[in-house]
Amino acid sequence: NAGVTQTPKFRVLKTGQSMTLLCAQDMNHEYMYWYRQDPGMGLRLIHYSVGEGTTAKGEVPDGYNVSRLKKQNFLLGLESAAPSQTSVYFCASSPLAGGHLETQYFGPGTRLLVL
Amino acid sequence: GQNIDQPTEMTATEGAIVQINCTYQTSGFNGLFWYQQHAGEAPTFLSYNVLDGLEEKGRFSSFLSRSKGYSYLLLKELQMKDSASYLCAVMDSNYQLIWGAGTKLIIKP
């Protein structure tokens, strides 16, 4: 049982390049989330999903897109990377039972540097 | 706006007790979470409070006062492995977690 996994672990992009971050969970969780974590700031929600085929915007969605084609996978896309998107990205998942009040389980993070 | 405040950094001695405070102002309240995050790692769940009072879980306890918009995390019998950042997060009326910036706890021998 791997829990929540993220690929890649680290990536360097040039401004304007695109990339997709992959999050996978094997706990059969309904809810999945993408956060970014910047120094001196709390985690900020980018997008989230309450089930397969659904997505919703969080606090800071601009510049990002997401897809949840399969229940176990949640993809985060950057169409045209900007230096302001340099951050550590965390994916999290939680079961349905308690809704959003359930504990979130986090992946190990993806460190992204945009030059 | 929504705001979660917690101290940036605290230092404590191995074997001692430390209290990490968190104050919040959010649009609605559906519970308060504490997570632990070791450097370079993912946050992991510590506790959840939705009613006023103290929740105890081994060496860790968490307290909530909704009327004061205040919580604290109490760590007893500190161990070196407790050196980490402690994140306070509040679930708002839209069921989204609003996170504090975290308190970096340094444990000295």
Per-residue pLDDT tens digits for A1-32: 789 999 999 999 999 999 999 999 999 999 99
- Strands B53-57, B60-65: pairing kind: antiparallel
Which one of B33, B41, B97 has the shortest CB-CB distance to A45? B97
**Averaged confidence pLDDT in chain B:** 95
Q: What is the pLDDT of residue A99?
A: 64
Q: What is the pLDDT of residue B86?
A: 98
The chain A residue lying nearest B97, using CA atoms, is: A45
User: Cβ neighbours of residue B62 under 8 Å, at least 6 residues apart?
Assistant: B32, B34, B46, B47, B49, B54, B55, B71, B72, B73, B74
User: Cβ neighbours of residue B22 under 8 Å, at least 6 residues apart?
Assistant: B4, B5, B6, B32, B34, B70, B71, B72, B73, B88, B100
Tokens of B61: 């306890």
CB contact under 8 A, B100 and A109: no
pLDDT greater than 90 at residue B20: yes
Which one of A99, A103, A108 has the shortest CB-CB distance to B41? A108
The chain A residue lying nearest B99, using CA atoms, is: A42
Between CA B109 and CA A112 the distance in angstroms is 35
CB contact under 8 A, B48 and A107: no
